[in-house]
Amino acid sequence: MRARFSHPAIDHRPGTEVVAVLPGPELLVTDADGQVRQVVADRLVLATGAVERFRPVLGGDLPGVHPLGGLQTLLKGSGVTPPEPVALAGRGPLLWLLAAQYAVLGVALSVVIDAGRPTAADWWAALRSRGDLVRQGLGFVVGVIRRRVPVAFATAVDAIQRDSRGLVVDAGGRRWRTATVGLAHGLRPDLALAAQAGCALDRDPMLGGWVVRRDACFATSVPGIHAIGEVAGIGGADLAWAEGLILATRLAARPPPPDALRAWDRADRFRRALAPWAADGDDVPDAPDAALGCVCEGVDLGRVRAAVAAGAADVATVKLATRAGMGRCQGRYCADTVAAIVHARTGRWSPPSTRWPIRPVSAAALAAMGEVGDGG
């Protein structure tokens, strides 16, 4: 892929972050040197992927408790494994992928706890669309069980505690002692740029919650902006790859490769079949009031629930009332939780909203740019 980027028609800028999409479309990007630059485009393709979902768990903020994707990135990026034994809990393919990777490496696992409850019909639909991936996933599960790792299916974590001997995971009336816990709550589209660009969003709990609305040609509601991959719904790498091929050929006024269209169709049917197991849909967080809802600002669920009960009817009002979402991550992780609690009371979902710059930029770099757009 790197070799393809060396094509003279491609201006590849690794290490560059987009911090704003302004009308045009015009991008504001930060280079590795921290400078902010403007890039004007005829067309923009948003392919910002997904981020891990955060769900409150009592004790989820204790030292030794990590997001499961973070543990996997640590393993893939640096070959680092956490203190053992490790308990992995939650839902989705990453749970069993990491469990299998750890098992093969000889990392001691105290338990794997899978909260998903797929029906026979879900499995049948998944098998028919991507039997190869289902078999691969079952291979992970069998590999873990063969190593005599305790597993619990259809079980959610109730609480995590710490005592002098380490961590204790409570789930479904049973307890497991461990040194590290990895929690997986699935993925959700990374909508920071799409929302900031004003793209219309739809709510589809089976595809990760809010997703970018697109037409059949992957065009968003904003002229000149397309969206591909997981920003338009969680679906895996094969689906994202197929969408890239389809859009690239369409933008070049050529017919999309039939293989890519077939791969897209199979991947789409597969993700929909898998969703009841992999995604926790629109579940309202059922963790107790003491569980942290906003980790950055230390706001527990009790305070969020009290604000909503007192009349806060959207995420922005809860933020003003409690500071949930005011911290460094700007609601990237907690806004989903707050939105679910608001929805449970009002029946309305607050769509995500972002203002630029979507990532921290120094005031000096912004000042050096002069006047740009509006709304910052």
Ligand X SMILES: Cc1cc2nc3c(=O)[nH]c(=O)nc-3n(C[C@H](O)[C@H](O)[C@H](O)COP(=O)(O)OP(=O)(O)OC[C@H]3O[C@@H](n4cnc5c(N)ncnc54)[C@H](O)[C@@H]3O)c2cc1C
> Residue type at 59?
G
Give me the least distance between CB of 216 and ligand X, in Å please.
18
Q: Which stretch binds ligand X (CB under 6 A): 6-14, 65-73, 146-154, 253-261?
A: 65-73
One of 122, 230, 280, 300 touching ligand X (CB under 6 A) = 230
Q: In terms of DSSP bridges, do strands 109-114 and 187-189 run parallel, antiparallel, or are they unpaired?
A: unpaired
Q: Which is nearer to ligand X, 12 or 175 (CB)?
A: 12
Report whether 91 contacts 252 (CB < 8 A).
Answer: no
Give me the least distance between CB of 290 and ligand X, in Å please.
27
Q: Which stretch binds ligand X (CB under 6 A): 136-144, 187-195, 256-264, 297-305?
A: 187-195
Give, as one character, the DSSP assignment of residue 219.
B
Sketch the per residue contact string, 133 through 162, with ligand X: x for CB under 6 A, - otherwise. Answer: ------------------------------
Angle at 172 (CA atoms; ends 138, 176), nearest 5 degrees: 80
Instruction: For residue 240, state whether it binds ligand X (rule: CB under 6 A).
Output: yes
Q: How many angstroms separate the CA atoms of 61 and 203, rounded?
A: 28
- Number of residues counted as binding ligand X (CB under 6 A): 21
Instruction: For residue 56, state whether it binds ligand X (rule: CB under 6 A).
Output: no
> Residue type at 284?
V
Scan for tokens 């950055």, then name that residue.
Answer: 296
Burial 97-112 (b: 16+ CB within 10 A, else e): bbbbbbbeeebebbbb
State how far Cα 256 lies from the chain centre.
28
Q: Which is nearer to ligand X, 70 or 311 (CB)?
A: 70
Q: At what angle do helices 93-105 and 68-78 cross, to 10 degrees?
A: 40
Give me the least distance between CB of 83 and ligand X, in Å please.
20
Give me the least distance between CB of 230 and ligand X, in Å please.
4
The residues with which 163 forms a beta bridge, in sequence order, are 166
Q: Which stretch binds ligand X (CB under 6 A): 162-170, 232-240, 329-337, 361-369?
A: 232-240
Instruction: For residue 69, state whether it binds ligand X (rule: CB under 6 A).
Output: yes
Instruction: For residue 50, state whether it binds ligand X (rule: CB under 6 A).
Output: yes
Instruction: Report helix, strand or coil for 341.
Output: helix
Q: How many angstroms separate the CA atoms of 230 and 48, rounded?
A: 7
One of 21, 45, 149, 193 touching ligand X (CB under 6 A) = 193
Give me the least distance between CB of 220 and ligand X, in Å please.
15
Give me the least distance between CB of 198 and ligand X, in Å please.
16
Q: In terms of DSSP bridges, do strands 26-30 and 36-40 run parallel, antiparallel, or are they unpaired?
A: antiparallel
Q: Which stretch binds ligand X (CB under 6 A): 134-142, 214-222, 230-238, 287-295?
A: 230-238
Q: In terms of DSSP bridges, do strands 225-227 and 174-178 run parallel, antiparallel, or are they unpaired?
A: unpaired
Give me the least distance between CB of 190 and ligand X, in Å please.
5
**CA torsion sign, 143 to 144 to 150 to 153?**
negative
One of 71, 72, 278, 293 touching ligand X (CB under 6 A) = 72
One of 59, 60, 92, 229 touching ligand X (CB under 6 A) = 229
Angle at 236 (CA atoms; ends 232, 242), nearest 5 degrees: 75
Sketch the per residue contact string, 80 through 119, with ligand X: x for CB under 6 A, - otherwise. Answer: --------------x--x----------------------
Give me the least distance between CB of 232 and ligand X, in Å please.
8
Greatest Cα pair distance, the chain, in angstroms, is 65
Give me the least distance between CB of 238 and ligand X, in Å please.
8
Q: How many CB atoms lie within 10 A of CB 126?
A: 24
The footprint of ligand X (CB under 6 A) covers: 17-18, 47-52, 69, 72-73, 94, 97, 187, 190, 193, 229-230, 236-237, 240
